[in-house]
Amino acid sequence: MKKVLAFALSVSGIAMSTPVFMDGEYAKSLCEAWNKTPQLVEQLGKSESWVAVPERKIFIYREDCGDTKQIQLTIKNDGSKAQCVYGGPARDKRGRDDFLMYAETKRWLEMGKKEYGPMKAMMFGRLKFEGPKGVAMKNMGPFEAFLDIVDNPPHDASKCP
C-alpha cells in the first residue's frame, strides 16, 4: 500500500524532493540540526564572547553558485542557550556582530565529512570567513561542530539553489 501511495504521489508531482544543498529548506533542517548539537546550544550559550550580543546571524553560501543565493541562520542567545530560531533564505542585512561563510560546494562537503577542521579550511583558503574573528577564535570547538553538521541534513548538492 505504501509503495502504491508513493508512486501515486510522485506521478501527481506532489512527491517530497530532497532539498538542494544550501537552499531555504536545507537551511531550516540545518537550524534544527544546530538545536540538536550540544556544543552549539550549550557551549556557545555559556561563552561570554558569544552571548555579549543577544542575537547573531550566520550567512552562508556556496561560492560556485554565487553570493545571491545565501541562507541565514539566526541564533538567539537566551539564558544559557544559543538556539537557532530561524533557518531559511537570507532575509536580513549582515551586521557587525554577524558572520558570513562561503566555500566551494566541494569544500563544504569535505568539511561536513570531517576531512579537516576550520583552521585548516581557513588557512588554505578553502573556507572564507567574515565577521568578529575574536569571537570565532574563542569558540573554535563550537565552530568545528557547526562545520561537522553541514553535511547532516539530507540534501542534493548536484545543483545550485
- The reply to whether 42 falls in a domain is yes
pTM for the whole thing?
0.87
C-beta of residue 156 within 8 angstroms of C-beta of residue 21? yes
For residue 83, the enclosing domain spans: 17-149
Whether residue 102 is contained in a domain is answered as yes
pLDDT at position 16? 61
Per-residue pLDDT of the chain (161 residues; tens, 9 = 90+): 444 444 444 444 444 689 999 999 999 999 999 999 999 999 999 999 999 999 999 999 999 999 999 999 999 998 899 999 999 999 999 999 999 999 999 999 999 999 988 889 988 999 999 999 999 989 999 999 999 999 999 999 999 99
**Residue labelled with grid coordinates 574563542:** 138
CATH of residue 44's domain is 3.30.1050.10
Q: What is the pLDDT of residue 32?
A: 98
The reported pLDDT for the residue numbered 79 is 84
Total count of domains within the chain: 1
- Please report the beta strands in the chain, taking only residues with DSSP state E, as ranges in sequence order: 55-62, 71-78, 81-89, 99-103, 128-130
DSSP count for the chain of H helices, then E strands: 9, 5
